[in-house]
């Protein structure tokens, strides 16, 4: 019951955020340099042609009327037409979305188990040998640039050893798994140290908590205390961090997708930006903002599921 109430409350708060997002994405386009009508009409178009195009696209209307139209279209699921591909933006995004989502989920699946294992290893004896090694390797993983690591791995595993394809998305579920392994791995190598830092700190802090002493005083074994008390109490900060990272990956997979030529949203974004494909950029911005909001919502709900105090 408390969960349902929370979900309802959060969804209601969401409407305001979504309205804000739509305003910002709308204004973004209008503040960008360049005139879309001129772009459509071509370099040598006459003033009359440009005016006609302006009228056709509603660009001559006052700003607030344009916004209303934009909002109404948005609600109908119409976020415009790609100037370059001459296809609806929503269709384009749908097409390019799946590789990115697959990659994101893949990264999370690759990153979470080692994060938990390394944090436990580290936190068991803070300052010990294992902790030092984990920290050093972590710093190395953080400092190696993703693009360099990507290129190196695709050369080594892809070209020299021939274990994994170096580009593309593949066909079918196993094909996706196979093709996206290297991109997912190179992102995970950078993500694991970030998450490990956070989880390690929380584990060390919670191991000193009073309720751990109390559990010990009630005869719980160290093993039980760790899995039932310390770990559940420590995951929340890391979960929130993971949420931020996932949102970031959906919008920021540009480098990895470019290096491995994955037909994802990052690739689409680069193409649209270079080709001045305004409505695609606008649509993508909207999608990135929405996905951030949705991921945050999911993380909040998950946090509420773990921690009853968040529900209240």
Partner 1 sequence: MNRTETVTRPLLEVEDLTVGFGGFEAVRGVSFYVQPGEILGIVGESGSGKSVTCRAVMGLLPGTARAGGGVRLEGRDLLTLGDADWCALRGRDIGMIFQNPASHLDPLRRIGRQIAAPIVRHLGIGRREAMRRAIRLLDDVGIRDPERSARSYPHEFSGGMKQRAMIAAAIGCGPKLLIADEPTTALDVTVQARILRLLKDLNRERGLAIILISHDLGVVADICSRVVVMRNGEVVEQGPIDDVINRPRHPYTRLLVDSQPSRRGYPGVKAEPLPAAPLLSVEGLSVSFPVRRSLVSDRAGKAGPFLALDGIDLQIAAGETVGIVGESGSGKSTLARTIIRQNRPSGGTIRLDGREVHGLTGDALMAFRRRVQMVFQNPYDSLNPRMTIAEAVAEPIWRHGLADRRTAQVRADELLEMVELPRSLRNRKPRQLSGGQCQRVGLARALALEPQVLIADEITSALDVTTQAQILELLLRLQRERALTLLYISHDLSVVSSICQRVYVFKAGRIVEDGPARQVLSIPRHSYTQELVASLAQLGPKNAASALTPVFNNAAR
**What does the per-residue mask of binding to partner 1 show for 81-120, with x meaning CB under 8 A?**
----------------------------------------
Told to check if 214 binds partner 1 by CB under 8 A, we report yes
Helix, coil or strand: residue 128: coil
Cβ(282)–Cβ(25) below 8 Å: yes
Cβ(146)–Cβ(186) below 8 Å: yes
Told to check if 229 binds partner 1 by CB under 8 A, we report yes
Told to check if 12 binds partner 1 by CB under 8 A, we report yes
Told to check if 309 binds partner 1 by CB under 8 A, we report yes
Told to check if 1 binds partner 1 by CB under 8 A, we report no
Helix, coil or strand: residue 88: strand
Report d(CA 211, CA 230) in Å as an integer: 9
Nearest to 111 by CA among 136, 154, 135, 141: 141
Report d(CA 31, CA 285) in Å as an integer: 14
By beta-carbon proximity to partner 1, the closer residue of 92 and 304 is 304
**244 Cβ partners below 8 Å, 6+ apart?**
none
The one among 8, 23, 136, 171 contacting partner 1 by CB under 8 A:
8
The one among 55, 211, 294, 298 contacting partner 1 by CB under 8 A:
211
Told to check if 227 binds partner 1 by CB under 8 A, we report no
Told to check if 31 binds partner 1 by CB under 8 A, we report no
Told to check if 42 binds partner 1 by CB under 8 A, we report no
Q: Residue 81's beta-bridge partner residues?
A: 88
Report d(CA 52, CA 30) in Å as an integer: 19
Told to check if 77 binds partner 1 by CB under 8 A, we report no
By beta-carbon proximity to partner 1, the closer residue of 50 and 236 is 236
Q: Which residues bind partner 1 (CB under 8 A)?
A: 5, 8-9, 12-13, 209-211, 213-222, 224, 229, 232-233, 306-309, 312
């Amino acid at each position: 019951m408390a969960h349902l109430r929370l979900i309802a409350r959060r969804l209601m708060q969401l409407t305001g955020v979504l309205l804000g997002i739509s305003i910002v994405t709308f204004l973004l386009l209008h503040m960008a340099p360049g005139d879309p009508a001129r772009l459509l009409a071509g370099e040598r178009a006459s003033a009359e042609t440009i005016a006609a195009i302006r009228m056709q696209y509603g660009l001559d209307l006052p700003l607030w009327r344009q916004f209303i139209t934009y909002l109404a279209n948005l609600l109908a699921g119409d976020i415009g037409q790609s100037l370059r591909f001459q296809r609806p933006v929503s269709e384009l995004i749908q097409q390019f979305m799946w590789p990115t989502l697959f990659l994101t989920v893949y990264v999370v699946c690759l990153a979470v188990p080692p994060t938990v294992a390394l944090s436990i290893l580290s936190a068991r004896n803070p300052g010990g040998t294992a902790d030092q090694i984990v920290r050093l390797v972590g710093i190395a993983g953080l400092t190696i640039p993703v693009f360099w690591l990507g290129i190196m791995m695709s050369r080594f595993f892809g070209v020299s050893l021939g274990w994994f394809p170096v580009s593309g998305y593949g066909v079918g579920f196993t094909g996706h798994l196979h093709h996206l392994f290297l991109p997912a791995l190179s992102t995970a190598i950078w993500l694991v140290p970030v998450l490990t830092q956070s989880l390690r700190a929380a584990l060390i802090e919670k191991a000193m908590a009073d309720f751990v002493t109390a559990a010990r005083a009630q005869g719980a074994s160290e093993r039980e205390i760790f899995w039932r008390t310390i770990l559940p109490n420590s995951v929340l900060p890391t979960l929130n961090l993971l949420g931020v990272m996932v949102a970031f990956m959906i919008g920021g997979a540009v480098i990895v997708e470019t290096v491995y030529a994955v037909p994802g949203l990052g690739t689409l974004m680069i193409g649209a930006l270079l080709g001045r494909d305004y409505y695609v950029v606008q649509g993508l911005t909207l999608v990135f903002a929405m996905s951030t909001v949705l991921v945050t919502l999911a993380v909040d709900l998950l946090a509420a599921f773990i921690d009853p105090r968040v529900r209240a």
